[in-house]
Homo-oligomer: A and B are copies of this chain.
Amino acid sequence: MEQLLQVSTPDHGDNSSSAAGGQTGKEQQAAGVGILLQIMMLVLSFVLGHVLRRHKVYYLPEASASLLIGLLVGGLANVSDTETSIRTWFNFHEEFFFLFLLPPIIFQSGFSLAPKPFFSNFGAIVTFAIFGTFIASVVTGVLVYLGGLMFLMYKLPFVECLMFGALISATDPVTVLSIFQELGTDVNLYALVFGESVLNDAMAISLYRTMSLVRQNASSTQNFLMVIVRFLETFVGSLSAGVGVGFTSALLFKYAGLDIDNLQNLECCLFVLFPYFSYMLAEGLGLSGIVSILFTGIVMKHYTYSNLSENSQRFVSAFFDLISSLAETFVFIYMGFDIAMEQHSWSHVGFIFFSILFIVVARAANVFSCAYLVNLARPATRKIPAKHQKALWYSGLRGAMAFALALQSVHDLPEGHGQTIFTATTAIVVLTVLLIGGSTGTMLEALQVVGDAHDGSLGENLEGNHNHSYVAPSYDEDSSSGNKFRMKLKEFHRSAASFTALDKNYLTPFFTSQNGDEDDDFDEPMPSSRRGGFEH
């Protein structure tokens, strides 16, 4: 931090020893002003969000409002020539985003997850997130490259096009999901959108980093295989690390005897350190912290949570809800402010226009092809309906993850290239957050997936109407058909089905103090999810 500040004041040279005292005081004052502004914007966002929700203004969700506040204040700071030392507090630092803002958001996603719809759609989610994101990245990359070749847009090398494709394929869960919840949509659609957007962040990061490595090594042989192997390695490794940390925490809290009343603080301290431990363990091993902390969240909710004392249970739920709300809102403000402050190369309007076109095409290729594959493997009663596919296609707005990776690409890529990618990503983020975020409600109503009673709406479930149709059915009736894809995809479903039994008979009794008979955990009233505390 000290170094950071010393860098940001280059005028503070060799004769620093005499001036440093005042300088330090001044820097601290600048920091105070900077953080003060951030807090005021946060408060404003929360209050504005509350007012908008209360008046049911769906075309300006909280995330859009936060982004606009950030843009506005950033613009004002730009115009009013604010001091550089204050501005540095608003520069979007990818490290800060990845290490401090992202972990609580993703953990809360896992922690507030309703396991039943998630696991019964696990096969589909993984298909969309892994295979689909891969398709989307490649399609976007190839189209951008072709566009460059045809002089439609700024020409980038092929690998850099693929990097752009990877980073722009990361969809953001925040805004869309908060609207989904508010309107009460189909649980399966919710699970699909949610699961995809969380997991594809991990895929996009992995793809981006792999491409970045490929670019440096320039060994273009076996690239494709390398990408696949490296991704699988990362994914499986991170998943194992996350689940491992989760199970460790469950055993610790089961046997440490901390659930007596006067140790609540110690219990909570340890509990809140575990998710972060999981994230940093994965990052430290060169794996994906996001995937790891997501699964730690799922495991900790399902096993560790029930080993806590009742007070601590209430506390940690509220705690993670609070922390993730703050982080989420802050991300959008921070992004808005940085967009207003950064240097953009707006000369490439063509690049922006065609990128938007291409990502729409790429997302269609992702969603519809994956949905086709999933439907092949599913029984007739459980096929993903066309309207759900359309909703899924529509809800692919780009957020902080794409933005952070684009910012990183400015450092990773040669002069000009990274800048172009960053500007395009910025434009895409702002447009999709404002347009898609603002119109999701209308879209969901148009597609008639709001309050759909076909197989239980989110809204109904929220009121405790436990609908048992989401248990993964046994797939025996479907064994007649047998092409390769179906078999492969069905494995996911089978694993989900057998997982329920495994969980009930072995995992729950082993890792928690409950006996395995009650499987209340799976039936609990739906997502106390992301914005939970606010709405219901």
Contact = CB atoms under 8 A, between A and B. Distances in A.
A17 B414 contact: yes
Nearest to A417: B17
A213 B284 CA distance: 43
Nearest to A283: B32
Interface residues of A, number: 85
Interface of A is mostly: helix
A95 to B, nearest CB: 4
A29 B272 contact: no
A35 interface: yes
Interface of A: 1-5, 7-8, 16-22, 24-25, 27-29, 31-33, 35-36, 39-40, 42-43, 46-47, 50, 91, 93-96, 98-99, 209, 212-213, 215-216, 262-266, 268-270, 272-273, 276-277, 279-286, 289, 311, 314-315, 318-319, 321-322, 325-326, 408, 411-415, 531-536
Given A19-B216, A95-B1, A286-B29, A24 B262 contact: no
A533 B266 CA distance: 8
A530 to B, nearest CB: 10
B36 A281 contact: yes
B2 A284 contact: no
14 contacts: A2-B411, A20-B411, A31-B95, A32-B285, A43-B270, A43-B273, A262-B534, A265-B322, A265-B325, A265-B531, A265-B533, A266-B534, A269-B322, A319-B322
Contacts of A40: 277
A169 B43 CA distance: 37
Number of copies: 2
A93 B5 CA distance: 11
B277 A25 contact: no
A216 B22 contact: yes
A93 B213 contact: no
Nearest to A533: B265
B321 A39 contact: no
B99 A24 contact: no
Given A216-B22, A273-B42, A283 B2 contact: no
A23 to B, nearest CB: 9
Given A28-B98, A39-B277, A43-B277, 16 more contacts: A17-B415, A21-B212, A24-B94, A25-B212, A25-B286, A32-B283, A32-B289, A33-B280, A33-B284, A35-B280, A36-B277, A36-B281, A46-B270, A262-B533, A268-B322, A268-B533
A535 B536 CA distance: 35
Contacts of A216: 18-19, 21-22
A264 B50 CA distance: 12
Contacts of A31: 95, 99, 283
A39 B275 CA distance: 10
Contacts of A277: 36, 39-40, 43
Contacts of A284: 29, 32-33, 36
A96 B96 CA distance: 13
Contacts of A311: 314, 318
